[in-house]
A and B are shown apart, each in its own frame.
Chain A
Amino acid sequence: MAQQKWRNTLVGWSFILPNFLGFVIISLVPMIAAFGLSFMEWDSFNAPEWVGLDNFERLLRDESTKIALWNTTLYALGHVPLTMLAALGLALLLNRRLAGLGFFRAAAFFPYITSLVAVAVVWNMLFNPEFGPVNQFLHFIGIDNPPGWTTSTTWAMPAVILTSVWRDMGYYMVLFLAGLQSIPREYYEASKVDGATGWQRFLFVTLPGLRPVTFLVLILLTVQSFKVFDLIVVMTDGGPGRATLVLSQQIYRQGIIEGEFGYASAISFVLFLLVLVLTLIQFWFNNRRERS
Chain B
Amino acid sequence: MIRRRMLAAMATAVAIALPVSACGSGEEPAANGPVTLSVSVWSLASTPEFQVLFDAFTKANPDITIKPVDILAADYPTKVTTMLASGDQTDVITMKNVIEYARYASRGQLLDITAAAKSDTAKKLGGLDAFKQEGDKYYALPYRQDFWVLYYNKKLLEAAGQAFPTNLTWDQYVELAKKLTTGSGQSKVYGTYHHTWRSVTQAISAAQTGGDQLSGDYKFFADQYRAALALQEAGATLDFGTAVTQKTGYASMFETQKTAMMPMGTWFIAKVLSEKQKGTTNVDWAIAPMPQRPGSSKITTFGSPTAFAVNKNAKHSAAAKKFVEFASGPEGAKALAAIGIVPAYSSDEILKQYFALTGMPTDEMSKKAFTPDKVNLEMPVSDKTSKIDTILNEEHQLIMAKQKSVEDGIKSMETRVKNEVS
A148 on the interface (CB 8 Å rule)?
Answer: yes
Q: C-beta contact mask, B291-325 vs A, less than 8 Å → 1, else 0? A: 00000000000000000000000000000000000
Q: C-beta contact mask, B394-417 vs A, less than 8 Å → 1, else 0? A: 110110010110000000000010
Contact between A251 and B394 (Cβ–Cβ < 8 Å)?
Answer: no
- In the complex, what residues of B have CB within 8 A of residue A275's CB? 1
CA distance A43 to B3 in the complex (A): 18
Which residues, 106 to 152 on A, are CB-close (under 8 Å) to B?
121, 124-125, 127-132, 148-152
Instruction: With A45-B107, A150-B244 as known contacts, state yes or no: A29 contacts B419, CB within 8 Å.
Output: no
Contact between A258 and B12 (Cβ–Cβ < 8 Å)?
Answer: no
Q: Interface majority SS on B: helix, strand, loop or mixed?
A: helix
- Closest chain A residue to B186, Cβ basis: A131
- In the complex, what residues of B have CB within 8 A of residue A240's CB? 244, 397-398, 401, 403
Which residues, 119 to 148 on B, are CB-close (under 8 Å) to A?
none
A272 on the interface (CB 8 Å rule)?
Answer: yes
Instruction: With A128-B246, A131-B242, A240-B401 as known contacts, state yes or no: A261 contacts B11, CB within 8 Å.
Output: yes
B274 on the interface (CB 8 Å rule)?
Answer: no
Q: C-beta contact mask, B215-234 vs A, less than 8 Å → 1, else 0? A: 00000000000000000000
Contact between A44 and B14 (Cβ–Cβ < 8 Å)?
Answer: yes
- In the complex, what residues of A have CB within 8 A of residue B246's CB? 124-125, 128
- Closest chain A residue to B247, Cβ basis: A121
B349 on the interface (CB 8 Å rule)?
Answer: no
Instruction: With A227-B2, A239-B397, A240-B403 as known contacts, state yes or no: A34 contacts B11, CB within 8 Å.
Output: yes
Contact between B247 and A124 (Cβ–Cβ < 8 Å)?
Answer: yes
- In the complex, what residues of A have CB within 8 A of residue B401's CB? 148, 151-152, 240
B374 on the interface (CB 8 Å rule)?
Answer: no
Q: Which of A77-85, A192-200, A207-215, A263-271 contacts B (4 or more CB under 8 A)?
A: A263-271
B241 on the interface (CB 8 Å rule)?
Answer: yes
- Kindly identify which residue among A121, A130, A148, A153 contacts B398, using a CB–CB cutoff of 8 Å: A153
Smallest CB separation, B214 vs chain A (Å) = 16
- Closest chain A residue to B400, Cβ basis: A240
A278 on the interface (CB 8 Å rule)?
Answer: no
- In the complex, what residues of B have CB within 8 A of residue A261's CB? 7, 11
A179 on the interface (CB 8 Å rule)?
Answer: no
- In the complex, what residues of B have CB within 8 A of residue A132's CB? 245
Smallest CB separation, B80 vs chain A (Å) = 12
A51 on the interface (CB 8 Å rule)?
Answer: no
Residues of chain B at the chain A interface (Cβ within 8 Å) = 1-5, 7-12, 14-15, 78, 81-82, 84-85, 103, 107, 109, 239-242, 244-247, 386-387, 390, 394-395, 397-398, 401, 403-404, 416, 419-420
Interface pairs (16), CB distance under 8 Å: A27-B5, A31-B4, A31-B5, A33-B8, A43-B107, A44-B81, A45-B107, A121-B247, A124-B245, A128-B241, A151-B240, A151-B245, A241-B394, A241-B404, A264-B7, A268-B3
